[in-house]
Structure formats: C-alpha cells, structure tokens
C-alpha cells in the first residue's frame, strides 16, 4: 500500500511482519518446498506474534482489528517475501469471515481462541473434481439423520488440506433445490470417514499443502452446521469479494517486489559494456511495467478502502482480481526475460515467482469467470 494510506501503527505492524518473515520463514522456506508442507510450529509462532485472526473480538482472545489494511500488510509482505507456502491468508481472510459471521456463540467459544493461537488451522472446501467455479452444482451431500448429518463426497485442490483441523465444507442438504439446497458444515480432524488424500504435486507453491478430501458416511453433529441450512451458497457469494481482493493484494505484492529486484539486477548486470537496464528496450519495458504497477496500486488501495467501508461490490472485486493477476503474470514473465538465462534458474528468485504466479488467474474463480461477472453487471 502507498505510505500515505498507512498510519504509524500500520508501519509498525509492517515492520514486525517483515522481521518475522525474515527470521522465521525465509531461511527455511526452500526446505519446506522440498518437504511439500510447512511445519505446524510456524503457525503457533505466528499466533504468538498476533498475526492470526486479528479481527476476532478481544473476548475470544483476538485483537479486534477490523481495519483490512492490517490484513493487507500481511498478505503483501508474505507475497513479496516469496513465502508462498504459508496458508495464513486462507486462514485469516478466506475461512475466518465465515466463522465470524455465521457461527453461534457456542461455536465461536469452541473454535476461535485456538484459531487465534495457531493450534487450529482452517480450510475451505468448495471445489470438486467435476468443476471449480460452478459452485451451484456441487455433488457432495449431507443427509440429516437424527442429530447428525451424514456426509458423502469429495473435494479437491484444498489449500491447507493436510494441516487443517477445521474444514468448512460446502454440501448439498437438498439435492432438488439447486443453489438453495447448499449448506456449510464444519468437519473436524479425526471424524470417522473423513480422509485426506495425497498432498497434490503442483508446478508451483511447492511448500503449500494442497490436498484431496474424501467423505465416506462422515457423521457430523448438527451443532457443526454453519449458519442456517440452505443458505450456504448465499454465504459463499457474500464472502467471495473479499477472497478475490486478497488475491489482488497478493498480486500487487509480487508485482512491486519483482520489479524492485529486477531493476537492481539490470543495473548491475552488464552486456556489451553497459548495464542491461540502460538499453532502450529495457528502459521501455520498465517504463511500461512501472506505470501499470502504479495504476494497479492505486486501484487496489481504493478497493481496500471500499472493503473497510463495506462497499466493495462483487464486480469491483472481480475487476481487481482479474486485472492485477493478469498483470502479475505479465510483469513476472517480462522480468524473467530481462534476467536472461539466469531467469530460468531456480536459484534466482524470479524463476520461483514465475511458477508460483501462474495459479493466480485460476483459483478464486478463473479470470474468465471474473469477466463474466463484470459483463453481467453491465446488463449483458
């Protein structure tokens, strides 16, 4: 975010995040990428520092900070540091709002304190093998029998899928009611019939555990229903604008950091007796990227302001998500090109940013779906 958008308290929080990433994450991230997962201990350390679920009210042990600028600082700094394995953003900004908005008081007391401490890690399970963006046609079912729901089905591409202790699962409680037949259930680690498949092998985000989840006659207490039965699709639609803004904020973190270190590289790297950056082609590329980064920054900061004011519309969030993530791919690709052959080597940061960035235009709703949302809002 632009400095004029931040207070002194924001800047202090930013400094603490940077120090945490520098000391606790960056030195170990390459090893976590080899292992395909981050250790649970890093979650507890983040909880001790007050970086998890900061918006939760103080009576549950949280900080009660509802200013999304703080969340955005954590998102941007994590993205800029290359800490792509951390699932904090999914926990804080995608899953947590469901718990805050739709949980009963009993559920909040049971789950929120440990979500703040990092003892409980959360995940959101919507996507199925048959389709990702078409949420209305999910196949996982939950049939009420007595005081339990019996859940059958599967989900895939679930971030925090291996580590998660609580998973919000979108299910069909009424298979004949379409979108109005969808409900949200919270499944807990250890429930009989709830199995995790393999940690999926991806081209990027190597340290982030992304898994398949399987449900075979899982007995879920009625007390684990999130909100009201039949309103799951409505809840998901209400939360998607923030989820998509999260991706835009992360995109800006990567764009700005990739530009920064590529400019440094091109000033130092020589060819034909002069720095790479001094060639006209390089200057023009940097001019274009810097201009687009500036446009993206102004737009995303405005979207953060709208979210804080509870005025962020689905179409504005879709605009932010599609445009910034498209720009992220463009900028990282051009910066890799400016690194020459070294850009193709994984020991260089730009190569890792290149492969980690590719998924940005896919998850959270593909960018094609974002354009569909925007087009429909225009009356087409």
181-207 burial string, b = 16+ CB within 10 Å, else e? bbbbbbbbeebeebebeebbeeebbbb
Quick check: 226 and 235 in contact, CB under 8 A? yes
Q: Would you say how long the chain is, in residues?
A: 380
User: Alpha-carbon distance 288 to 172, whole Å?
Assistant: 48
Q: Which of 75, 76, 47 is nearest to 62 (CA)?
A: 47
Task: Provide the token pair at 195.
Answer: 């199995």
User: Alpha-carbon distance 64 to 57, whole Å?
Assistant: 4
DSSP H or E stretch at residue 158: strand 148-159
List the catalytic residue out of 33, 128, 229, 243: 243
Is 243 known to be catalytic? yes
Collapsing DSSP to helix, strand or coil, 53 comes out as: coil
Q: Which of 131, 139, 130, 189 is nearest to 161 (CA)?
A: 189
Q: Which residues are catalytic?
A: 243
């Amino acid at each position: 975010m632009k400095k004029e958008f931040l207070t002194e308290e924001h800047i202090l929080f930013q400094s603490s995040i940077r120090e945490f990433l520098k000391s606790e994450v960056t030195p170990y991230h390459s090893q976590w990428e080899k292992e395909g997962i981050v250790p649970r201990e890093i979650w507890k350390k983040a909880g001790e520092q007050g970086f998890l679920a900061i918006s939760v009210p103080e009576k549950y042990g949280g900080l009660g900070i509802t200013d999304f600028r703080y969340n955005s600082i954590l998102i941007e700094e994590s993205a800029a540091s290359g800490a792509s394995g951390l699932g904090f953003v999914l926990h804080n900004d995608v899953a947590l709002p469901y718990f805050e908005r739709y949980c009963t008081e009993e559920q909040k007391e049971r789950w929120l304190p440990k979500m703040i401490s990092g003892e409980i890690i959360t995940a959101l399970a919507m996507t199925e093998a048959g389709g990702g963006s078409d949420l209305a046609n999910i196949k996982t079912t939950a049939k009420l029998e007595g005081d339990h729901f019996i859940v059958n089905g599967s989900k895939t591409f679930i971030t925090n899928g291996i580590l998660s202790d609580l998973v919000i699962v979108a299910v069909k409680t009424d298979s004949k009611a379409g979108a109005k037949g969808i409900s949200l259930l919270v499944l807990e680690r250890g429930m009989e019939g709830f199995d995790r498949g393999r940690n999926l092998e991806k081209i990027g985000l190597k340290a982030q555990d992304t898994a398949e989840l399987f449900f075979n006659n899982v007995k879920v207490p009625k007390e684990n229903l999130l909100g009201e039965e039949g309103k799951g699709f409505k809840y998901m639609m209400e939360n998607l604008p923030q989820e998509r803004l999260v991706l835009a904020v992360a995109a800006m973190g990567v764009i700005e950091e990739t530009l920064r270190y590529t400019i440094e590289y091109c000033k130092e790297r020589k060819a034909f007796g002069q720095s790479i950056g001094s060639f006209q082609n390089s200057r023009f590329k940097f001019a274009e990227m810097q201009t687009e980064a500036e446009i993206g920054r102004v737009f995303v900061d405005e979207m953060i302001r709208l979210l804080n004011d509870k005025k962020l519309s689905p179409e504005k969030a879709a605009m932010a998500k599609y445009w910034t993530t498209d720009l992220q791919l463009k900028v990282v690709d051009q910066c890799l090109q400016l690194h020459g052959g070294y850009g193709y080597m994984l020991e260089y940061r730009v190569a890792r940013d290149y492969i980690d960035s590719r998924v940005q235009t896919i998850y959270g709703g593909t960018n094609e779906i974002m354009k569909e949302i925007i087009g429909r809002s225009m009356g087409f």
